[in-house]
Structure 1
Amino acid sequence: MFSLKTFLLCESASVQRLFSTSTLPVFTLFTKDPCSLCDEAKEELEPFKHRFVLQQVDISLPENRVWWDRYRWDIPVFHLNGKFVMKHRVDVPLLDRLLRDAETQQT
């Protein structure tokens, strides 16, 4: 029998990855608060959310100083599986192509 906590954990994308037959790519959003462009980007990512695991990195936190030094003037910045793919705005056609390529590589 599952506890409520276990059930809620199973609803998270990272745990769903563990139970799926293929692993979803990790899409990292480098952000800070406030960031209106980041908020817009999150909205644009909504239709794709079932195709990747979204990892958000708040560059203003002390432990993320290296990302602050690198990206403070460029957020939002996006990485796919640890590699830079775009900045400032979501390039929807590019994102779709990159995700299709990642999905093809998994099969």
Structure 2
Amino acid sequence: MVLSFLRTVQLARRTSSPLGRQLGSPSANKPVLTLFTKKPCPLCDEAKEVLEPHKKRFILQEVDITLPENSTWYDKYKYDIPVFHLNGKFLMKHRVDMQKFEDQLTKLELQNDGNQ
């Protein structure tokens, strides 16, 4: 799971995609919130709305689990979306738990501040 996340980050850095630019810029210290989703996903849309006020604090990466290259994620999460990972680690599924999200985001921000 972590290796897949690292490959995604490495690929993003090699491409000229918006994600690649974000990861290569000073915002690289921002935590990465990965949303595992598919179309349509009303719960995913609702979750993104809930997270909208906090979007300056993290980078949102969406992974469409229906794409062939994401079949592992499809097998794992097909009945559970939306699923969120924060910096490559499982965080929550089905609905946004704002308390859990805030706690983990703050923890990562404090770690990043301490490492600078």
Return the letter of the residue paired with 2:82: P
Aligned length, in residue pairs: 97
Segments of 4+ moved more than 6 angstroms = none
Give the aligned partner of residue 37 of structure 1: 43
Q: CA deviation at 1:41?
A: 0.5
Gap runs ≥5 in structure 2: 1-15
TM-score, with structure 2 as normaliser: 0.76
Structure with the larger helix share: 2
Structure 1 unmatched ranges of 5 or more: 1-8
User: Aligned residue for 1:103?
Assistant: 109
User: How high is the sequence identity, in percent, across the aligned residues?
Assistant: 57
TM-score (norm 1): 0.82
Pairwise CA distance, 1:13: 6.7
Instruction: Determine the structure 2 residue equivalent to 1:46.
Output: 52
Label 1:40 to 1:96 Cα distance change in 2 as closer, same or farther (>3 A). same
CA RMSD of aligned residues (A): 1.8
Report the equivalent of 1:88.
94
**Contact 2:35 2:61 (8 Å CA) reproduced:** yes
Q: Which has the higher contact order (CA 8 A, sep 6+)?
A: 1
